Structure 1
Amino acid sequence: MSSPQKIAVITGSSRGLGRADALHLAEAGVDVVVTYRSNKAEAEEVVAAITSAGRTAVALQLDTSVVSSFPDFGEQLGAELQARWGRATFDYLINNAGHDLTASFEATTEKDFDALVDVHLKGVFFLTQTLLPLISDGGAIVNVSSGLTRIINPGHAAYGAIKGAVEVLTRYQAKELGSRGIRVNVVAPGATATDFGGGMMKNNEKVRAYLESAVALGRVGEPDDIAAAVTALLSDANHWITGQRIEISGGQSL
């Protein structure tokens, strides 16, 4: 009897690292539920790319800062799983959605801090909690953190501290969900050329050159570098890895 088709749910996967994750997993034979906050057209482009690669995909709207919307999203996801795949569960959850804040510790406002918490901590905590009944036993969760939990870059105190909380949460999830065979790990990308943070690492040559000088492998990362590692981490070959922080930075600031 053949095993069920693997399915991944990736938050914030209409662009950036989430998009790269979706495309790499599709290349590895995984079907994908793409989520987007507001840009449906971008999400549908990702779905089209996955479909053209011979895999099945669907785009669902989700604002990970609105915890009250999670039960409805879970019901919608469950209906899509049944309609498209004839299943009640999916296999992989990647908590990727997020936004940056660049402000000194002194200048960070409570409003800005709360906005980060809502997406990066409350969103990850309560979305995963809501979707637990839909995650297959033996499945896997990847939370996305940042190299800024280790590499101190002034202007990112709130962002780095909240991502640090996600790393601690990951270990608790790994311990508590281990009885179901669910692996939970956290990846921490280093400097990566995306639109994140206004595209500074992609478009600002001075910033890019500075960061490249700090990376052992001599360049900033690309979305494909991160996505390849996430795809490998989710594969059955890494079934014995859980509760770990895995930095994907090319050896930044060693």
Structure 2
Amino acid sequence: MSTTTNPIAIVTGGSRGLGRSTALHLAGQGFDVILTYQTQATQAQAVVAEIEASGRKALALPLDVADSSRFSAFAQSVREALRSRWNTEHFQVLVNNAGTGVHASLMDTTEAQFDALVNVHLKGVFFLTQKLLPLMADGGRIVNLSSGLARFALPGYAAYASMKGAIETLTRYMAKELGPRGIAVNVVAPGAIATDFGGGAVRDNAQLNAFVASQTALGRVGEADDIGAMIASLCSPANRWVNAQRIEVSGGMFV
């Protein structure tokens, strides 16, 4: 089977926020994009339309990254899409972006909240990557998402930040084990970003926004495009020798 002309990227949680920005920036670099969504089908299709308007191909597939029992079926959907829409067997880039947040003190965090974070941010990334690796081309790229909260500590994020610390460790192991296939694996750690993540607090709470800006060397909160552009750049040929690295994209928060 012949290989598609354009490289293909899979971006989980690509219907909004950082995932949407990443998908659009990758398309701007010449990638076709398969993006996933959980419930926001209309928003996902709007991203597909925007990518296709730029001259690239795009497809939105439903996926709940918290439900690992569905990953084999999702991988089969990807396989079929690669064959039918791109006439190829492989994709080149995986961005494990999809996520959710919990803000609760150590004492108030419930087991259900903790387990939900594990399923989305750690188990989901581990086993979704495992299921998709047979479809990834040698020489490909994986970008995982961490958080500045894995470096600095703010009360209320112990469980969430712990998952991101685990992802940073997992990234190094992925890089080591996938090195023989020429697959580079890095982790991007955003600072506080003005999106609807966590209920949109950083975006909508003026006091919080001002606090974050005051603690950031560049004097403002981050925007989705600050992160999407960085993730896309890691997938470019110019950064082919960057591997097993944690790259914080926070504007210099709490330095």
| 2:48 equivalent in structure 1 | 47
Query: Identity percentage over the alignment?
Result: 56
| 2:204 equivalent in structure 1 | 203
Q: Which runs of 4+ in 1 moved over 3 A?
A: none
| 1:73 equivalent in structure 2 | 74
| 2:224 equivalent in structure 1 | 223
| 1:246 equivalent in structure 2 | 247
| 2:140 equivalent in structure 1 | 139
| 2:92 equivalent in structure 1 | 91
| 1:118 equivalent in structure 2 | 119
- Check the 8 A contact 2:122/2:167 in 1, yes or no: yes
Distance (Å, rounded) in 2 between the aligned partners of 1:196 and 1:116: 14
Distance (Å, rounded) in 2 between the aligned partners of 1:59 and 1:227: 18
**Unmatched 5+ stretches in structure 1:** none
Distance (Å, rounded) in 2 between the aligned partners of 1:208 and 1:98: 21
Aligned residues: 254
Within-5 A mapping of 1:51-66? 51-66=52-67
CA offsets per residue over residues 185-218 of structure 1, 9 Å max, x none? Answer: 0000001100001101101110000000000001
For 2:185, what is the secondary structure of its paired residue?
strand
For 1:184, what is the secondary structure of its paired residue?
strand
| 2:13 equivalent in structure 1 | 12
- Check the 8 A contact 2:4/2:86 in 1, yes or no: no
Q: Note if 1:188 corresponds to 2:189.
A: yes
For 1:247, what is the secondary structure of its paired residue?
strand
| 1:167 equivalent in structure 2 | 168
User: In the TM superposition, what is the alpha-carbon distance from 1:5 to its structure 2 partner?
Assistant: 1.3
| 1:34 equivalent in structure 2 | 35
Distance (Å, rounded) in 2 between the aligned partners of 1:195 and 1:181: 36
User: In the TM superposition, what is the alpha-carbon distance from 1:3 to its structure 2 partner?
Assistant: 7.8
User: In the TM superposition, what is the alpha-carbon distance from 1:76 to its structure 2 partner?
Assistant: 0.5
Distance (Å, rounded) in 1 between the aligned partners of 2:154 and 2:204: 19
For 2:193, what is the secondary structure of its paired residue?
coil
